[in-house]
C-alpha cells in the first residue's frame, strides 16, 4: 500500500530539530525538502542542504520535525462509551459522517497511517485514496473473526447480533478459512482473529481461550495465500497468547497476560506486540460501562502494566496501537507516554510509533522514517518530545501534519 495524495508542490522545512524515526541522534537546525511527487528528496543538516528555487519554504525554527506516526490498532467506526444496544438504533448515514470526522481528527493528531482491526469497511480506505475525505492511510481487517460465545460474539439474549458490521463467527478450521476468505473478498488488508476472550464481551473472560491453534493457522494460511496478508490476534490471557504465537500470527494485540516465557517465544517467532496501553491507563468509571466490563478491567489494569513493562525489558518488538474506538479518538500519541512510563526510553517510544510500526504494516520501504526517497509524511511538534514525550499526545502541540507532501494541518 503506497498510496499518496496528489501533490504538485515542493516544500522546504527549515530550522527544526529532526528526529528521523530511525533511533539516530536528533539533527539540530535541520532541513527537510520534499519534491512535487510527495517524496523526501533531502533530510539532514541545513549546512549540507541543496539549493531549491521552486520550493515553498516553511520556517519551523524552535520545533521538532518527526515522521508521520502510526496507530496499528484502531476501530474508527466505534464510538467510545456507546453500548452495543445503543448502536442498534443509530442512523448508519450519520455514523458514516461521524467516522469520517474521526479519521480527520486522527490525522490532525499526527497519525498519518492506521490499521483498523474491526468494524470499518474497506470503502473508507477507498474514499481516502480518492480524496473524498481526509484521513490517515488505512489498512482494514473489515471484521473480527472469533468463535461462538467468544469475544467476537455480540449476540443479545434475544438472539439478535448487536454488531453484524464488526464480527464474524467461525467454529472450525474450515469455517475460519471461509471467514478469512470473505474478509479478503470484502477488501481486508489484514485478518483479525480472537485467540482469547476479552474485557468488553459479556460471555467470556481474558483468560478464556478463543480460536484454537489449528483454527488460527487456517487464517494464517489463507493470508499467506493472498499476497502475504498478515494476521493480527486479539490475545489477552497467557494461554491464548501462546496459541496465537504458535499459530504463526504476525502480531499479538493487547497481550495483557504475557509472561517471561511468552516474551521469549514472541522473540523466537519474530512476532510484534501491540499493547494498547490506553485501555489500561484510562480511568475507570463504573457508571460508564456494564458491571462485567468494569469488574474485568479493575482486575487486569495493574497486572497489564507490570506485564507490558516486562515485555519492554525483554526486548520484544513493540508497535504502537491504542484501541481507539474503545478508548477516545484523536489522542493516539498519548500511547508513547504510557510506553515511557513502563520503562521505554522516549526515543525508543518514537521509533515504536514510526519505524517499527511501519515494519509491522509492511510499509517500512516507503514510510516510518524521514529519509530521502521515502514518502513525505511529516509531523511538526512545538517543543522537544525527548524532554517531554507527553507533547506528542496533545493535539494542540502538533502544529503541522503533512501527508505525502500535502499539508493537512498547519497551526504555524
pLDDT per residue as tens digits for the range 245-277:
999 999 999 999 999 999 999 999 999 999 999
β-partners of residue 409 are: 401
> Average pLDDT for residues 386-403, to the nearest whole number?
98
Q: What is the DSSP string of 66-135?
A: EEPEEEEEE-TT--TT--HHHHHTS-HHHHHHHHHHHHHHHHHTTEEEEEE-SS--HHHHHHHHTTSS--
Q: What is the CATH number of the domain that holds 20?
A: 2.30.40.10
Cα-atom radius of gyration of the chain, to the nearest Å? 21
Residue 406: strand, helix, or coil: strand
Question: Strand 40-45 and strand 11-18: pairing?
Answer: unpaired
Please state, in angstroms and rounded to a whole number, the distance separating the CA atoms of residues 152 and 68. Answer: 32
pLDDT tens track for 109-148: 999 999 999 999 999 999 999 999 999 999 999 999 999 9
pLDDT band of 3, cuts 50, 70, 90: low
Do 234 and 323 form a contact (C-beta atoms < 8 A)?
Answer: no
Backbone dihedral angles phi then psi of residue 150, each to the nearest 5 degrees: -100, -160
Q: What is the CATH number of the domain that holds 274?
A: 3.20.20.140
pLDDT band of 301, cuts 50, 70, 90: confident
Which cell numbers hold the place of 152? 467476537
Q: What is the mean pLDDT of the chain?
A: 95
In a domain, 355, yes or no: no
pLDDT band of 4, cuts 50, 70, 90: low
pLDDT tens track for 321-372: 999 999 999 999 999 999 999 999 999 999 999 999 999 999 999 999 999 9
In a domain, 192, yes or no: yes
Do 186 and 194 form a contact (C-beta atoms < 8 A)?
Answer: no
383 shares a domain with 246: no
In a domain, 359, yes or no: no
126 shares a domain with 167: yes
- Between CA 383 and CA 387, with CA 384 as vertex, the angle to 5 degrees is 130
Look at residue 160 in the predicted model and tell me its pLDDT: 86
Closest-CA residue to 9 (of 48, 41, 43): 41
The proportion of the chain whose per-residue pLDDT surpasses 90, expressed as a percent, equals 85
Residue 156 CB: number of other CB atoms within 10 A? 13
Do 319 and 352 form a contact (C-beta atoms < 8 A)?
Answer: yes
In a domain, 49, yes or no: yes
61 shares a domain with 160: no
**CA distances (Å), 29 to each of 26, 40, 46, 63, 314, in order?**
10, 17, 6, 10, 35
Q: What own/partner pairs with CB < 8 Å and gap ≥ 24 does 45-48 have?
A: 46/14, 46/15
pLDDT tens track for 159-216: 888 889 999 999 999 999 999 999 999 999 999 999 999 998 888 999 999 999 999 9
pLDDT tens track for 224-246: 999 999 999 999 999 999 999 99
279 shares a domain with 379: no
386 shares a domain with 315: no
Q: What is the DSSP string of 40-62?
A: EEEEEEGGGPPP-SSPEEEE-TT
> Average pLDDT for residues 376-405, to the nearest whole number?
98
Which cell numbers hold the place of 244? 496465537
Give me the sign of the Cα torsion angle 66, 67, 68, 73: negative
The proportion of the chain whose per-residue pLDDT surpasses 70, expressed as a percent, equals 99
The H-or-E segment that residue 392 falls in is none
Backbone dihedral angles phi then psi of residue 146, each to the nearest 5 degrees: -150, 180
pLDDT band of 22, cuts 50, 70, 90: very high
Look at residue 296 in the predicted model and tell me its pLDDT: 82
Q: How many domains does the chain have?
A: 2
pLDDT band of 291, cuts 50, 70, 90: confident
In a domain, 145, yes or no: yes
Domain termination site, one of 304, 332, 360: 332
Which cell numbers hold the place of 211? 480460536
The whole model's pTM is what? 0.95
In a domain, 225, yes or no: yes
Q: Which domain holds residue 54?
A: 11-67+368-410
Do 119 and 143 form a contact (C-beta atoms < 8 A)?
Answer: yes
169 shares a domain with 43: no
User: Given a cut of 60, is residue 410 above it in pLDDT?
Assistant: yes
> Average pLDDT for residues 91-97, to the nearest whole number?
95
Look at residue 88 in the predicted model and tell me its pLDDT: 81
141 shares a domain with 258: yes
Residue 296: strand, helix, or coil: helix
253 shares a domain with 113: yes
118 shares a domain with 34: no
Q: What is the DSSP string of 192-238?
A: EEESB--SS-TT--TTSB-S-HHHHHHHHHHHHHTTT-EEEEEE-SH
pLDDT band of 89, cuts 50, 70, 90: confident
181 shares a domain with 142: yes
Do 256 and 303 form a contact (C-beta atoms < 8 A)?
Answer: yes
Cell 444496544 belongs to: 85
Which cell numbers hold the place of 329? 479518538
DSSP state of 396: G
In a domain, 290, yes or no: yes
Closest-CA residue to 403 (of 91, 78, 112, 74): 112
Look at residue 6 in the predicted model and tell me its pLDDT: 66
Please state, in angstroms and rounded to a whole number, the distance separating the CA atoms of residues 345 and 22. Answer: 14
**CA distances (Å), 63 to each of 60, 69, 320, 394, 398, in order?**
6, 17, 23, 15, 10
Look at residue 8 in the predicted model and tell me its pLDDT: 78
42 shares a domain with 166: no
129 shares a domain with 59: no
Amino acid at each position: 500500500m503506497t498510496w499518496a495524495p496528489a501533490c504538485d508542490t515542493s516544500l522546504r522545512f527549515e530550522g527544526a530539530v529532526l528526529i528521523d524515526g530511525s533511533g539516530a541522534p536528533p539533527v539540530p537546525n535541520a532541513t527537510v525538502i520534499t519534491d512535487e511527487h510527495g517524496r523526501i528528496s533531502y533530510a539532514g543538516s541545513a549546512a549540507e542542504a541543496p539549493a531549491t528555487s521552486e520550493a515553498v519554504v516553511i520556517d519551523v525554527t524552535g520545533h521538532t520535525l518527526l515522521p508521520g506516526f502510526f496507530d496499528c490498532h484502531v476501530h474508527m467506526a466505534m464510538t467510545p462509551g456507546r453500548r452495543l444496544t445503543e448502536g442498534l438504533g443509530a442512523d448508519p448515514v450519520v455514523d458514516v459522517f461521524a467516522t469520517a470526522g474521526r479519521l480527520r481528527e486522527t490525522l490532525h493528531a499526527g497519525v498519518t497511517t492506521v490499521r483498523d482491526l474491526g468494524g470499518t469497511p474497506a470503502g473508507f480506505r477507498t474514499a481516502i485514496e480518492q480524496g473524498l475525505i481526509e484521513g490517515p492511510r488505512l489498512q482494514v481487517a473489515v471484521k473480527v473473526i472469533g468463535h461462538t460465545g467468544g469475544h467476537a460474539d455480540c449476540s443479545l439474549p434475544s438472539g439478535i447480533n448487536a454488531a453484524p458490521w464488526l464480527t464474524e463467527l467461525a467454529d472450525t478450521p474450515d469455517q475460519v478459512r471461509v471467514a478469512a476468505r470473505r474478509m479478503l473478498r470484502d477488501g481486508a488488508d489484514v485478518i483479525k482473529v480472537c485467540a482469547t476472550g476479552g474485557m468488553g464481551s459479556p460471555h467470556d473472560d481474558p483468560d478464556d481461550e478463543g480460536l484454537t491453534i489449528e483454527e488460527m493457522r487456517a487464517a494464517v494460511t489463507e493470508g499467506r495465500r493472498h499476497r502475504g496478508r498478515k494476521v493480527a490476534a486479539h490475545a489477552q490471557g497467557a494461554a491464548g497468547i501462546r496459541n496465537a504465537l504458535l499459530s504463526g500470527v504476525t502480531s499479538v494485540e493487547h497481550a495483557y497476560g504475557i509472561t517471561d516465557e511468552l516474551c521469549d517465544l514472541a522473540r523466537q517467532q519474530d512476532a510484534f506486540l501491540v499493547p494498547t496501553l490506553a485501555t489500561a491507563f484510562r480511568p475507570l468509571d463504573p457508571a460508564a460501562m456494564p458491571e462485567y466490563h468494569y469488574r474485568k478491567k479493575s482486575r487486569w489494569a495493574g497486572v497489564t502494566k507490570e506485564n507490558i513493562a516486562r515485555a519492554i525489558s525483554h526486548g520484544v518488538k513493540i508497535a504502537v496501537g491504542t484501541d481507539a474506538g474503545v478508548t477516545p479518538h484523536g489522542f493516539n500519541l498519548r500511547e508513547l507516554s504510557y510506553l515511557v512510563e513502563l520503562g521505554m526510553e522516549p526515543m525508543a517510544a518514537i521509533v515504536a510509533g514510526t519505524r517499527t510500526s511501519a515494519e509491522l504494516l509492511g510499509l517500512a520501504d516507503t514510510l516510518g522514517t524521514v529519509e530521502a526517497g521515502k514518502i513525505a509524511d511529516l509531523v511538526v511538534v512545538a517543543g522537544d518530545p525527548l524532554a517531554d514525550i507527553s507533547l506528542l499526545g496533545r493535539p494542540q502541540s502538533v502544529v503541522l501534519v503533512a501527508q505525502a507532501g500535502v499539508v493537512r494541518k498547519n497551526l504555524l
